Structures are given as structure tokens and as C-alpha cells.
Amino acid sequence: MPTAAQESAAQYLFAARARGTPGARIPEAFRPADVGSALAIQRRVAALVGADVGGWKCSVPSATRSVLAAPIFAPAIHRGSPCPLPAAGGIAKIEPEVAFRIGRDLPPRATPYSEEEIRAAVGDAHVVIELIGARYSDPGSVSYPELLADGVANAGLFVGPAIANPFERTLEHFPLVVRTSAGPLHTREGKHPDGHPLLPLYWLANYLAARGDFLRAGQVVTTGSYAGVLEVPVDTPLTFAYGELGEFTVTFTAAA
């Protein structure tokens, strides 16, 4: 059960989600000070949202971020265009990523899953766009526990085409181009922040299983941006080219 302070923080973040607009950081009286409290708040927010968890975002832990994982709620996972997302002044923030759809459950067990077992549980891989939108109006000013409590600024996921034969492809890096009908908008040498997108998946599968949760068939796990946060216009068809991995066009619209 969450503590009284954790409950207050969760209710505060849930209200921001329901409102649909960002606000001030969590009041100091019940602001999380460590990862454990942040995760308790994150779990309570998920219960308040009451939606199925359709996926996860994750990264390999580091010295400064011992846990980086957050649920993505099923209603916020999109596969069609137009795709709603938070926007301000006609501009939205997104992250180009590679995600894995889980093909079969990886339930808790006494021994950790091997990399081979986790890879075998993958149904397919997709080029995706993480939709960025913190519940804080100034997310750069908050502590990491506050960011983690809020789901690490996740506002959803757009799932693009499946990658043919993904484990035979170079997933560590690829040229990334975002263009409009007028020409290129962003051009990057995309590079995975953890070296390979499977590495966060390996960590997440065992992290969740060790805590009594687990990756379920159908969930989509996205694993980190190849280009950081990019700003893109709404109401404009955008074509994303991920080297030889895939290409798709989507129009983003400001969420109501």
C-alpha cells in the first residue's frame, strides 16, 4: 500500500493526466525523494488510470538512474494516422525508437531469463515513435524520482511497420531522416543510447519478473531514442525513414 505522501503525489499526477495540461512539480510535502518512493507512486498512478498496460519504455540502468522503466497504457498506443499527442504552439516532442512486441508471456520464476529465452519470446520488432509529454510544465527542473514517478515523460507510442528479420539487421545505428513535403526536417546519424535495443529489453524482462510483474504477450517494449528528443509540427504529414529498417508517414495532431 502506498504511504499517505505517495497517495497524495499519485493523486496529483493523476489529476494532471486527467486535466490534459502540465502543471507545477509535485508539492514538496509529498515529493518523492528516492527511486523506491517514485516507483510506488508510479504503480499507484497506473491503478488510478485503470487502463491495461499495453507496453513499457525502458533503458539500461546507470549510476545515476538505477531504474528506468515506465508503463505505457494501452489507449495511448496508436497505429493509425492522425495520431494525437501533447503539443504546444503547433509543436510536439517525439523520440524515434525501435520496439519489440512480446509474443509470449515471461512470467515470474525462480531463475532469471537468459538473453536467448527473452529474444525467443519476441513476436516481432517495429520502428516506433515515443510520444513525449510530462505532467510537469518544466520537466527539466524536477528531480529524477519525480520524473520516474510520472512515467519518464511518456505520453504514448506510435507503432510503425514491422522490421523484416530484425535480428539479422544492424539495430545499433542507422541514418534517420524526418521530412515533410518541403524537404528534410531532421537528419541524424541515429545511434542507440544503450548500444543495442535488445539490452534494455533483457534488463526489463528480469526486472519485472523479479518483482512479481512480468512482460505479457502483446505488450510493446520501446527501448530508447536514437536521436534524443525531436520537435516536429502537428497537422503536417511527416515521413520517418529509419535507414533500411523501415519508413512510414504519420500526421500528429494536438490531443484534446
Grouping H, G, I as helix, E, B as strand and the rest as coil, residue 8 is helix
Number of neighbouring beta carbons within 10 Å of residue 14 = 19
Mean pLDDT of 130-149: 97
Per-residue pLDDT of 184-227, as tens digits, reads 999 999 999 999 999 999 999 999 999 999 999 999 999 999 99
How far apart (Å, rounded) are the C-alpha atoms in residues 193 and 65? 14
Beta-bridged to residue 122, according to DSSP, are 102
* Topology (CATH level 3) of domain 52-254: Fumarylacetoacetate hydrolase; domain 2 (3.90.850)
Q: Which helix (H) or strand (E) holds 149?
A: helix 144-149
Instruction: Give the global pTM.
Output: 0.96
**Mean of the pLDDT values across residues 144-165?**
98
pLDDT in tens, 38-97: 999 999 999 999 999 999 999 999 999 999 999 999 999 999 999 999 999 999 999 999
pLDDT tens digits along 89-102: 999 999 999 999 99
Residue 256 scores a pLDDT above 90: no
